Amino acid sequence: MTGTISTQTGSAHAGLLGIGAYRPSRVVTNAEVCEHIDSSDEWIRTRSGIIERRFAEPHETVQMMSVAASRKALDLAGVDPAQIDCVVVATVSHLMQTPAVAPLIAAELGATPAAAFDISAACAGFCHGVALGADMVRSGTAKYVLAIGVERLSDITDPTDRGTAFIFADGAGAAVMGPADVEGVGPVVWGADGSKYDLIRQNENWMDVVEMNQSEMPTLRMDGNPVFRWASFEMAKVAREALDRAGMTVDDLDAFIPHQANMRIVDAMARALKLPDHVAIARDIVYQGNTSAASVPLAAAAMLESGEAKSGDTALFIAFGAGLAYAAQVVTLP
Ligand code: COA
């Protein structure tokens, strides 16, 4: 047999149609974090920009937070869950190794029989999901895609570890992507540097935990200073390339929405990019901490809710973290 395989094409353009967020109810102050580590409110504020963060209560599971954020995004997009063809969930803190959490989220939303799977790209995961979703819409693999970034990092953070306890937090954000009249998601610039694999990592793998007969779960560890230097210098280059590939300059931007890793990294990138004064800069980290895969959609939703950014604005997303992995794209905000 020498048949030719048929192919398909999708919409000429893809866009973000709605963004939703879920912030857990429990506010955790720097004073509470300092009950377990030798630190101070002043040190945490000046070194990270964080004043407080949110930790999920037991009922605020990865699934529950994702469904809540997704319902808001779907409402804003005017898309029925049944129209979703693919649900992509970026997370590193769904503690059931298999199956993925995405099918559970899709089922609870009523987005069945959408394809549903998780991706593990740590803090860069949501921007990977946006890139995949836009490509699916343009290729015809899916008409509507739901990309979720969600974390319960409080479950895998050691409250007594001075290097991470004050940074990581919980939350969820979601974006609906679909066909658009003009392009709403620019080319992704993404990559990974496995030579820096150990800089942010689980302290032990599960096999070691079992062999050593330990009763405690592995937790995150980070060599903060090299990560800080890498993010501050290398990520500005990636951001510039994402602008170039979208055919834009910083003057075309209305908003800069980077991963909320550390306020000093946000400031260093803004300086390196020479962002004009009119560009609104996301600073959600102050009250949200570093929520890894959830941080970009949480920050975008906060800017849209507060009026700092508005529908139709041009924004630059960039996210980076464990792997080390990164992804950036220019988008039109929904
Ligand atoms: N509280 C108080 N002091 C602390 C501390 C804490 N939690 N952690 C470290 N210190 C002290 C160190 O002991 C050191 O003291 P010394 O100068 O007396 O030796 C000093 O602060 C500086 O330590 P260093 O590790 O160099 O701090 P830093 O300026 O690099 O700041 C981070 C630490 C974690 C805030 C910073 O490295 C960072 O933000 N890194 C990137 C984090 C990040 O983005 N991670 C996520 C990527 S997704």
Confidence of residue 210 (pLDDT cuts 50, 70, 90): confident
pLDDT digits (tens, 9 = 90+) for 6-16: 999 999 999 99
- Domain match, 26 and 129 both: yes
- Domain match, 216 and 271 both: yes
Cα distance between residue 165 and residue 34, in whole Å: 9
Atom of ligand 1 nearest to the CA of 165: 7
- Domain match, 25 and 96 both: yes
Please give the tally of structural domains in the chain: 2
Q: Best mutation site among 47, 128, 160, 263 for ligand 1, i.e. most ligand atoms within 8 A of its Cβ?
A: 47
- Domain match, 122 and 213 both: no
- Domain match, 161 and 204 both: no
- Domain match, 74 and 41 both: yes
Structural domain contains residue 97: yes
Domain with 248 in it: 189-332
pLDDT digits (tens, 9 = 90+) for 83-124: 999 999 999 999 999 999 999 999 999 999 999 999 999 999
- Domain match, 89 and 20 both: yes
Structural domain contains residue 227: yes
Give pLDDT, residue 128: 98
Structural domain contains residue 45: yes
Q: Exactly one of 86, 123, 128, 262 is catalytic; name it.
A: 123
Residues 310-319 have a mean pLDDT of 98
pLDDT digits (tens, 9 = 90+) for 145-186: 999 999 999 999 999 999 999 999 999 999 999 999 999 999
Give pLDDT, residue 102: 98
Q: What percent of the chain has pLDDT over 90?
A: 93
Mean pLDDT, all residues of the chain = 96
pLDDT digits (tens, 9 = 90+) for 199-208: 999 999 988 8
Residues 294-321 have a mean pLDDT of 98
Residue 216 pLDDT > 90, yes or no? Answer: no
Atom of ligand 1 nearest to the CA of 122: 48
Query: Where is the domain boundary, 110, 145, 179?
Result: 179
- Expressed in angstroms and rounded, the spacing between residue 62 Cα and the centre of ligand 1 is 28
- Domain match, 168 and 199 both: no
Q: What is the 3-state secondary structure (H, E, C) of the chain?
A: CCCCCCCCCCCCCEEEEEEEEECCCEEEEHHHHCCCCCCCHHHHHHHHCCCEEEECCCCCCHHHHHHHHHHHHHHHHCCCHHHCCEEEEECCCCCCCCCCCHHHHHHHHCCCCCEEEEECCHHHHHHHHHHHHHHHHHHCCCCCEEEEEEEEHHHHCCCCCCCCCCCECEEEEEEEEEECCCCCECCCEEEECHHHHHHEEECCCHHHHHHCCCCCCCCEEECHHHHHHHHHHHHHHHHHHHHHHCCCCHHHCCEEEECCCCHHHHHHHHHHHCCCCCCEECCCHHHHCECHHHHHHHHHHHHHHHCCCCCCCEEEEEEEECCCEEEEEEEECC
Structural domain contains residue 3: no
Atom of ligand 1 nearest to the CA of 47: 35
- Expressed in angstroms and rounded, the spacing between residue 65 Cα and the centre of ligand 1 is 30
- Domain match, 77 and 149 both: yes
Residue 289's region, left for phi above 0, alpha for psi from -120 to 50, else beta, is: left
Query: Where is the domain boundary, 179, 209, 236?
Result: 179
- Domain match, 135 and 207 both: no
Structural domain contains residue 2: no
- Tell me, what CATH number does 140's domain have? 3.40.47.10
- Domain match, 138 and 198 both: no
Give pLDDT, residue 213: 80
pTM: 0.96
- Domain match, 108 and 231 both: no
Query: Where is the domain boundary, 139, 156, 179?
Result: 179
Structural domain contains residue 6: no
Structural domain contains residue 75: yes
Structural domain contains residue 7: no
Residue 1 pLDDT > 80, yes or no? Answer: no
Give pLDDT, residue 181: 97
